[in-house]
Structure 1
């Protein structure tokens, strides 16, 4: 079984790097894995992702994490199902956020074969409509996102240029894409695309990796008029990739919540592979102070409060030159995020219910 191989490889790595990665004795780790699997249905894979070999993590905290079934029930309990879709369609989400003055990347239009419309109110349904829109933005960089998508799938960003004809060029490789060719591919998505101005991220984030807009995933929850921050990590793309999603190969960089300082970078699939610098660009990660950190937390809280009957979310925030911008709100963020930020959801559930969580 692959998980047994993963455990053996982890133990070998920890043995060879004992000074850098202090760990519990193997017998203790094995006992914990068995207990969590038998009584909590939390497998060894989650144990490794959460880096629960660390001696400083109390076993009672591990016990308070959720298994998959509990996680689904937790989300449905605190995020009312009829309202979950309000933040899962990017046009609806954008409308709510802009109406409530939550800063987001600048909207250009909604591209759809029947209901498409530009910001100006002009139609955006056909290739000719799209070309006319692009003519208005020659010399600019735009991004196109499927209105319903996951993990960065379908995302595209282009510079709009005119060289004897209108065309798209890749932001970094300068590879040419004919607008008509992209349109044919886009036609396969019946839900359409949201078109936005490409966000120019803060130089601190560009210094880590300029090829992707590197965004924060901030976990937070609310009840009784109070918003709590559960944890956060910065997602950083790899060289040549326009997306930073960990599901698409991006790196995970936990953030110290009190200060906004990055702790380290880890491979999302193998958290043992930690580094202080970006492996492709050499950009420093460990001990980097994120700009506008208090404003990032405040923006995430405003975004959560904007959606009715949504009490738990993973909010994605980008940091632009002039401050944070809301990218999207996830009413059912990847459960593995809890492992990456040491967030026991059963304790969160107790707080949401109004129970004492200090014991």
Structure 2
């Protein structure tokens, strides 16, 4: 939709470009000293717990290679878990274990690996293979999300997430990211996942894209993407607004998953959320940001994050 447009046409369509994102949205609203709160997933987990925000349970943390030999016994009670680098990005270094077969660990694809492979993965994580800048890292072990069955058929192996952009406490735009075989089961648009724009008022699908090209069905399952309706939507949007208050960042990407039993859970926070969400929605964010600024300037903006979320769901319907 936007791929062949000129810069003037994009501006007329209300598309936020990289310059405005970097100079205004990020630089003016996200103090650099707050970045570690979201760049380090272990600190994010602690932040969410402090503020009472729902997130997948942290089972344990591996900080030194000497701890790895203790893991078989430590993991024995846990049939399902996720190992991820605290400072990873783009879905790199995430190992998902969905079950057990004897002494082997079962991945979502159905393939199995032994503990040696798990230990090697953790060693690579500690060495910084998956971290930003290649710096030494720690490995987090979390409970695996039992994702809501509303997404059955809409994703390939991986867990779908919902990205909500929050600007100064107001949820502004949303999409769900659906893993594919091309994305290797990861909900990463740059690796070939499907992005589905969601109506910020209702959580219903608006349009879908893969590699920037509009699609109507999931490439692996054939499911009709327009049928997606995210449950618990008001709670999810309000949760994203509360994350912004907790982080102190004025321009924030909140990545939320839906657990079948626990409801919306915060997976990650992002201080530099990208702009592809506009392509998935087929609309620009500029007009919405301008409306938020006007409301704040009027002195009539609601104070509580839940009230700001409710305003956004009504204003951007």
TM-score where L is the length of structure 1: 0.72
Structure with the larger RCO, 1 or 2 (CA within 8 Å, 6+ apart): 2
C-alpha deviation, 1:197, in angstroms:
1.1
**Is 1:59 the equivalent of 2:1?**
no
C-alpha deviation, 1:172, in angstroms:
2.8
Equivalent position to 2:31, from 80, 97, 109? 80
Equivalent position to 2:265, from 325, 334, 338? 325
SS at match of 1:263: strand
Q: Please name the residue that 1:120 is paired with.
A: none
1:251-271 alpha-carbon deviations (Å, 9 max, x no partner)? 00001112211123211x232
Does the 8 Å CA contact 2:209/2:215 hold for their aligned counterparts? yes
Q: Matches of 2:51 and 2:223 in 1, distance apart?
A: 36
C-alpha deviation, 1:171, in angstroms:
2.3
1:270-328 alpha-carbon deviations (Å, 9 max, x no partner)? 32x321x21211223203221111111011111111113x1111111111113111111
How many correspondences in the alignment? 284
SS at match of 1:182: helix
Equivalent position to 2:186, from 217, 237, 243? 243
Larger Rg over CA atoms = 1
Q: Matches of 1:93 and 1:349 in 2, distance apart?
A: 29
Q: Matches of 2:290 and 2:40 in 1, distance apart?
A: 26
Equivalent position to 2:205, from 251, 256, 262? 262
Q: 1:210 to 1:350 in 2, by over 3 A?
A: closer
Q: 1:67 to 1:112 in 2, by over 3 A?
A: same
Q: Please name the residue that 1:192 is paired with.
A: 138
SS at match of 2:124: coil
SS at match of 1:188: helix
**Is 1:229 the equivalent of 2:171?**
yes
Q: Matches of 2:121 and 2:34 in 1, distance apart?
A: 31
Q: Matches of 1:79 and 1:350 in 2, distance apart?
A: 20
SS at match of 2:176: strand
TM-score where L is the length of structure 2: 0.80
SS at match of 2:254: strand
Q: Matches of 2:43 and 2:37 in 1, distance apart?
A: 6
Does the 8 Å CA contact 1:239/1:281 hold for their aligned counterparts? no
Q: Matches of 1:237 and 1:136 in 2, distance apart?
A: 28
Q: Matches of 1:60 and 1:172 in 2, distance apart?
A: 41
Does the 8 Å CA contact 1:127/1:180 hold for their aligned counterparts? no
Q: Matches of 2:273 and 2:106 in 1, distance apart?
A: 32
Does the 8 Å CA contact 2:172/2:288 hold for their aligned counterparts? no
Equivalent position to 2:71, from 107, 114, 130? 130
Q: Matches of 1:146 and 1:202 in 2, distance apart?
A: 25
Q: Matches of 2:185 and 2:288 in 1, distance apart?
A: 36
Map 1:57-206 → 2, pairs under 5 A: 59=12, 61-62=14-15, 65-68=16-19, 70-74=20-24, 75-113=26-64, 125-137=66-78, 140-161=79-100, 163=102, 166-173=103-110, 175-189=111-125, 190-206=136-152
SS at match of 1:232: strand
Q: Matches of 2:278 and 2:297 in 1, distance apart?
A: 21
Q: Matches of 1:317 and 1:216 in 2, distance apart?
A: 5
Q: Please name the residue that 1:17 is paired with.
A: none
Structure 2, unaligned runs of 5 or more: 126-135, 299-314
C-alpha deviation, 1:210, in angstroms:
5.4
Structure 1, unaligned runs of 5 or more: 1-5, 12-28, 37-46, 53-57, 115-124
SS at match of 1:286: helix
Q: Matches of 2:43 and 2:28 in 1, distance apart?
A: 23
SS at match of 1:153: coil
Q: Please name the residue that 1:314 is paired with.
A: 253
Does the 8 Å CA contact 2:161/2:258 hold for their aligned counterparts? yes
